[in-house]
Amino acid sequence: MSATSERNTTYHGTDAAYVLPNDTPEHVRLEHQSIALNKMMHDTPFHALLKEPKRLLDIGCGTGAMTVQLAHAYPEAKVYGLDLSPVPPIHAKPENVEYVVGNFRDLAGKAADFQWGSFDYVFHRLLFFGMTDWPGYVSDVHSSLASGGWAEMHDPNFRWYNAQDEEVSTSWKWHGALHSALSAKGIDLDAGAGLEDWMRGAGFEYVSVREYKWTFGEAVWDLYPDSEAAGVFSTRELRFNLVPMLEALVEGSGYSGEEVREMQREMVATLDMPVGGHVKYFVVTGRKA
């Protein structure tokens, strides 16, 4: 994807597969999304059992929101925030934070600050729009950890379910088009459900899975009280941010302009979901022996 699209939306200047923008509107969306997801997790977004960690890594840190939270939670530790683009100056940077621009797969085991066995905790949230080799990535995370270190990975299945946990997105044309287009680029939009197996395959022990319901559309909060903020964010903001991105995301898949516009209209309609509509969001932790 070029550095700048016809809509003046900017993207990461890298050959990495990540397909979402890196401009100011995207930074705003990421900030609101981070707040909503934290509330979904009772404002306790870190699940791994850490004991006096010395070096921590936040992969794909975006605006640095979670990096800063880690730095405040572990003020005696050195916390690295890694992203494909420079981190915008939204949050005051604690003294124990260092931001690095680059691709983890290129740096792991090679760069001075990313040597094998050098981290006590590696965290990521929402890499599913940019990862093309999950087993290789999870293996590199395992190798990057010191003995006793923990990894924590947060990703969804990009599929929608009703209140009875029945998938409802199988008939949505835009959904199938997006899965096909990104699958052709090696991107697995169902990565969340694969994290447990990939972590076990990489050699992690004490692998634990926590599943959250990230609601969309109208919701009854007594069904999913923890997801109220995520549901409001999705209804008022996320689906309308995704709609204009669809054209760029399916670019090169052979759809005409009118077909894309029709899918965009369908996207608006389908993501205004009935009560209980949600995406499954997985948090998986594991320890290196």
In a domain, 104, yes or no: yes
Q: What is the mean pLDDT of the chain?
A: 90
Once rounded to an integer, what is the mean pLDDT over residues 214-240? 84
CA separation for the pair 25, 21 (Å, rounded): 9
Q: What is the pLDDT of residue 7?
A: 43
CATH of residue 206's domain is: 3.40.50.150
In a domain, 5, yes or no: no
CA separation for the pair 61, 43 (Å, rounded): 18
Q: Confidence band (pLDDT; 50, 70, 90) for 24?
A: confident
pTM value is 0.91
In a domain, 54, yes or no: yes
In a domain, 132, yes or no: yes
Residues of the domain holding 214: 24-287
Selected residue with higher pLDDT from 242 and 140? 140
User: Among 270, 263, 271, 266, which Cα is nearest to 246's?
Assistant: 263
In a domain, 10, yes or no: no
Q: What is the pLDDT of residue 6?
A: 44
Q: Confidence band (pLDDT; 50, 70, 90) for 4?
A: very low
Q: Confidence band (pLDDT; 50, 70, 90) for 243?
A: confident
Q: What is the pLDDT of residue 16?
A: 56
State percent of the chain over pLDDT 70: 92
In a domain, 16, yes or no: no
Once rounded to an integer, what is the mean pLDDT over residues 160-172? 94
Contact 122, 149 (CB under 8 A): yes
Q: How far is CA 92 from CA 60, 68, 88, 116, 176, in A?
A: 18, 8, 10, 30, 41
Number of structural domains found in the chain: 1
Once rounded to an integer, what is the mean pLDDT over residues 161-169? 94
In a domain, 3, yes or no: no
In a domain, 17, yes or no: no
- At 129-163, the pLDDT tens digits run 889 999 999 999 999 999 999 999 999 999 999 99
* End-to-end CA gap in the chain: 40
Judge whether residue 175 has pLDDT over 50.
yes
